Amino acid sequence: MLLYRAFSSQRQMYQSALRQARSHSSNIGTASRSLSRSPSVPQAGVSRSPPPAPEGQAFFEALARDASAAKKRKHIEAALGIGSQNPYELEVPANARLNYHVYVKDRTDGSDLAAPTTYRHTDYMIARGAFGSLKSAFETAGQVPAFEVQTPSGRKRITNEDEWEHAVLAIYNVRRSGGVVEVDVLV
């Protein structure tokens, strides 16, 4: 697409230069007659900027045409229902480059109870149900954990595996390369 735009831009500049040369050669006679009849004298204190060069206008015209065509295409796709396809993933792939930072905190005062740990999405314990594994580990230790995940729309309380998957999926869909899942385990 980028190559096509560069090619069409070059073609438009070439066509613009040809038009300018044609109009310049046909206007030479008219311009010399108009200059001899009414010379323009700039007014004192008023500075006039020269009109933009036709070559520069070709870029803006091409941009406006491309934007107009894209808007029309978007409108037609919306009317036909073609443009409503979901560009987001429906599940996090197994090879996602996500890092999980797990913080264990005291529920009453928010102080850290353990050193933060980092896991990758490809690690065995994460790929095989992180929420269930974490919850059962803390319950075995005699604690009732509460989970919070920092999502793109703010902190979200997690109570089951589906909510966990939705939170991780939201993070993955926003930033597919190098996303970070921050998990607070409150005990």
- List the CATH number of the domain containing 103: 3.10.20.90
Out of 85, 107, 138, pick the residue that ends a domain. 85
Looking at the structure, tell me whether residues 71 and 123 fall in a common domain: no
The number of domains in the chain is: 2
pTM of structure: 0.53
Is residue 32 assigned to a domain?
Answer: no
CB atoms within 10 A of CB 111: 7
- State pLDDT tens for residues 1-53: 666 777 777 778 777 776 776 665 555 555 444 444 444 444 555 555 555 55
Looking at the structure, tell me whether residues 68 and 111 fall in a common domain: no
Is residue 69 assigned to a domain?
Answer: yes
Is residue 35 assigned to a domain?
Answer: no
- State pLDDT tens for residues 113-159: 999 999 998 887 777 788 998 999 999 999 999 999 999 889 999 99
Instruction: Provide CB contacts within 8 A for 106, sequence distance 6+.
Output: 112, 113, 186, 187
Looking at the structure, tell me whether residues 77 and 158 fall in a common domain: no
CA dihedral (151, 155, 157, 163) in degrees, to 10, reads -10
Is residue 66 assigned to a domain?
Answer: yes
